[in-house]
Amino acid sequence: MELFAQDLVNGLLAGGIFAVVALGFSLVWGIMNIINLAHGAFVMLGAYTAFVLFSAWNVDPFVSVPIAFVVLFVLGYALQRFILNFVVRAPILTTFLLTFGLSLLIVNIVLLVFHGDIKGITTAYSGANFALGPVTVAWTKLFTLVAALLITALMQLFLTRTKTGRAIRATSMDIGAAQLSGVRVAHLYAIVFGLGAGLAGAAGALISLSYSLQPSMGDPFVISAFVVCVLGGLGSVSGALVGGLVYGVLEAFGSQYVGTGVQDAVALVVLLIVLIVRPTGIMGRAAA
Amino acid sequence: MSAAVYLSVDDVGMRFGGLAALDGVSFAVERGAVVGLIGPNGSGKTTLMNVISGVYKPTGGSVTFAGKRIADVPTHRVCQLGIARTFQVVKPFANLSVRENVAVGAMYGREGTTRSTRAAFDHAQELLEVVGLARVAERPASDLTIPDRKRLEVAKALALDPEVLLLDEVMAGLNAVEVEEALALLRTVNERGVTLIVVEHLMKAIVSISTTIVVLAEGKKIAEGAPADVLASPQVIEAYLGTRYASRQAAKNAGAAP
Amino acid sequence: MKIGLGGITGNPVALGIAVAVLALLAFVPLLHNGYYENLFRGVLMFATLSLGWNIIGGYTGYVSFGNVVFFGLGAYTTAALWQHAQVQNIAIDVVVAIVVAALFAVILGFPILRLKGHYFGIATLGIALATEEIIENIDWLGGGSGFTIRQVDAFWTYYVAMWCVCAASMLATYLIARSKLGYALVAIRENEEAAAVLGVDATRYKIIAWAISGAMAAAAGAVYAGSNGFIDGPTAFGIDNNVFPIVMTILGGVGTVAGPVFGALILTAINETLWSHFPQIHTLFFGAVIVLVVLFLPRGILWLFGVRNGWRSIVGSFGQYRV
């Protein structure tokens, strides 16, 4: 019973990260119908940004979060504006392969620069935890969850309260009408992709405390982002949040009861079940 | 050739969520007839076509043809029964040649399953001559003009060796000359023994070609019969032109009666 | 690809060249050169993988991002047969691998092939990852450390076997493209709804296509395992074997018979050059190659055969999908 509660708590704590990663992925997918296979690489870049800032200037990873967001936003904006915008309406294979190629490029550049050895960040409070009844909660994980929730809330506010946010939502509903209303779609798409990348980067900075860093660390996040989007439905911030938390819990239980080596298998089974039983996801709408 | 009920639409209803696109529509189609299906926009004509061709399963009632209920048959087997259709938004196989487009139907339709690839292509060529596309047989379908694309739709449907052909707004976007050509083609097809159900907005075209007309409004059938009778019917006029026009017209007619 | 001249088999000139190349490759063992044997075995293997992917991705239009699962299954079939049944016959390996792959495709095909577009792509990716994980957790199949297979035959036997598998795959693709099945697949790709109305049983044919594509990949995997002497999770299910065939098919020309073969040749040549001159950044270069191919040659090199103003058309068509 204690184990169950521990798994539940750990799952929820991890779920926040999955939610933020998935939110970025969901924005790009929902609004531009691009499945960004380089999304995991963006997460990795965020983590490495935090690492660099920490090793060079002793910047606390949590402070690096907004910095990583900005760095990845700029990168994402440039990628979309100057490369991806040319293939936005192409068949899926094109965007799949293109983002895959970009992912290869990014991962290998990082490999060249930082080499493949595993790195990590340890701060003064890294190992600290407290007890909540029978369950042990690590402070870093708790802060991470809080930060994730904060980011999600900010995103929601941005999408609903700002002019740009509304323009984004309008474009996702009807690109023609949006263009006629004066929306500069190329620029807007670049912003969306930048936001997606920024969110991934922020998540990466957040996890730099709890995960070890290597160039390939981002790989599992693409699959998990996809599953969360399917679980939670596209185009829904709350969907990404709920989906992420659920996914985190499922993963925790999966590790416990099925075995640690089979995360992907668990994710896949969940994905298939959801796709077949309820294609619109738990909360949102399905993709086209 | 018996005039017995050939294709029967019985009390067909189609609901999408809370919306009833079709409600209790019933009529019978005789063999060899040309049935014109008309009605204002949104009256459910294309939905009805989708039900008859098996693309939608009706939520109420049924369509029966050749003794079978269409809804019981999977979509890809409906053409084996003998029913073929064209789509309002044409669906050519863009990267295949015109002839290849038609050949696909010739390979998998009613007699298609026993045809060889070679024979299917020969049959396709024949049909291209009938519809007048032989000159562009080798071109990719994506290269065709709109009237030619419509011809291609018809050819593809004919490749299925159908007994009943459903045509959904085949004449939309055609100019007067092209409409005449389309009508001539349809008459040829009908003379080859194919029963037609035609959805059209062009009144003159429908009237000139139909043996019977069925009128839908808001998902219900409001009239059925010979063209002249149906078009003079006050309900039909009301559905198209509104209640005030209809009552004015009725008053005029009443006043004009000797 | 000039429509109508070669139908969906593709440009006949290109096809002729591909057949000639294949014939030439048959003579490689006579060179008695280990390096070339290995290199061209790789070409044949990737050509087969590409031909396999081409059936489901190119002709049917269902972009599978996880066809490596079949290659892996084939490789492990050989390993398991060797380890547990003492079978050392390549032919038996291939046959059993094909059966395993076909079964896998048929069973999983029912739920997976109902998915469209992106969903299908990621679902297949997920299947590949999941299968690798599951196999690595089964000790009977070598667990995490994989299998060592003692090579029984001389390398050239495996070369010939791979050549046979490739030739058979090419022949199969050609026959399919000329047959009613081929047209059913292309119809599904072009417009699945219209195809259904024209009498094509999409579910049935999609599964058949996936099974055939899987069979080709599995056959290649079965031969590869024997010739390599060792397989484990990453070797069998590695990302190279997953993505290379896709890029090769695109580069060569999707939905044609010769395309995958050309793509395999060209990309292997590029790969080898990169390996020997820039071993450090070879994968990085590959990423760049992928990006460039996708941006500028989305219809593949064979497309140039049928287009009069080759280069100008590339530039002209660049940006046709832009926003």
Span A96-101, average pLDDT: 89
Residue C7 has pLDDT above 70, yes or no: no
Question: What mean pLDDT value characterizes chain B?
Answer: 87
Span C69-75, average pLDDT: 96
Per-residue pLDDT, C169 = 97
Q: ipTM value of the model?
A: 0.84
Question: Which chain A residues contact residue C233 at CB under 8 A?
Answer: none
Coil, strand or helix at A138: strand
Q: What percent of chain B has pLDDT over 70?
A: 95
Alpha-carbon distance values, C98 to C122, C162, C222 (Å)? 24, 14, 9
Per-residue pLDDT, A129 = 83
Mutate to test the interface with C, among B95, B125, B153, B168 (most CBs of C within 10 A): B95
Mutate to test the interface with B, among C188, C198, C200, C256 (most CBs of B within 10 A): C198
Residue B154 has pLDDT above 50, yes or no: yes
Question: Which chain B residues contact residue C198 at CB under 8 A?
Answer: 79, 104-105, 108-109, 156, 159-160
Per-residue pLDDT, C308 = 44
List residues of B whose CB lies inside 8 A of any C CB: 53, 55, 74-80, 84-85, 87, 91-97, 99-100, 103-105, 107-110, 112-113, 117, 120, 137-140, 156, 159-160
Structure tokens at A285: 């709408």
Q: CB-CB: which of C125, C287, C322 is closest to A108?
A: C287
Span A221-247, average pLDDT: 87
Per-residue pLDDT, A142 = 87
| Gap from C179 CA to chain B (nearest CA, Å) | 6
CA distance C42 to A44: 32
How large is the C-alpha radius of gyration of chain C?
Answer: 19
Question: What mean pLDDT value characterizes chain C?
Answer: 86
Q: What are phi and psi of B171, to 5 degrees?
A: -95, 5
When pLDDT is cut at 50, 70 and 90, the band that residue C2 belongs to is very low
Structure tokens at B214: 């069925």
Q: Do chains C and B touch (3 or more CB pairs under 8 A)?
A: yes
Structure tokens at C290: 């992928």
Question: Hey, are the CB atoms on A89 and C57 less than 8 Å from each other?
Answer: no
Coil, strand or helix at B222: strand
Who has greater pLDDT, B257 or C59? C59
CA distance A276 to C120: 12
Per-residue pLDDT, C167 = 96
Question: Which chain C residues contact residue B93 at CB under 8 A?
Answer: 186-187, 190-191, 194
Per-residue pLDDT, C94 = 95
Neighbouring-strand partners of residue B34:
B196
Q: Tens of pLDDT along B171-202? A: 888 888 989 999 999 999 999 899 999 998 88
| Gap from C74 CA to chain A (nearest CA, Å) | 20
Question: Which chain C residues contact residue A90 at CB under 8 A?
Answer: 298, 321
Runs of H (alpha helix) within C179-238:
180-190, 192-197, 202-228, 233-237
Angle at C283 between CA C280 and CA C289, to 5 degrees: 125
Cβ contacts from B onto C, under 8 A:
92
Mutual angle of helices C239-252 and C34-53, in 10-degree steps = 70
Mutual angle of helices A61-82 and A185-207, in 10-degree steps = 150
Structure tokens at A120: 């990590």
CA distance C310 to C298: 13
Q: Tens of pLDDT along C211-257? A: 999 999 999 999 999 888 888 888 889 888 898 899 899 888 888 89
Question: What mean pLDDT value characterizes chain A?
Answer: 86
Residue B99 has pLDDT above 80, yes or no: yes
Cβ contacts from A onto C, under 8 A:
131
Per-residue pLDDT, B42 = 83
Q: What are phi and psi of B242, to 5 degrees?
A: 100, 160
Who has greater pLDDT, B213 or C311? B213
Helices then strands (H, E): number in chain A? Answer: 11, 2
When pLDDT is cut at 50, 70 and 90, the band that residue C4 belongs to is very low
Span B31-53, average pLDDT: 90
How large is the C-alpha radius of gyration of chain A?
Answer: 18
Coil, strand or helix at B24: strand
Contact of C198 with B108, CB cutoff 8 Å = yes
Neighbouring-strand partners of residue B164:
B83, B195
Q: Tens of pLDDT along A36-88? A: 999 999 999 999 999 999 999 988 889 999 999 999 999 999 999 999 988 88
Contact of A60 with A123, CB cutoff 8 Å = yes
Question: Hey, are the CB atoms on A93 and C246 less than 8 Å from each other?
Answer: yes
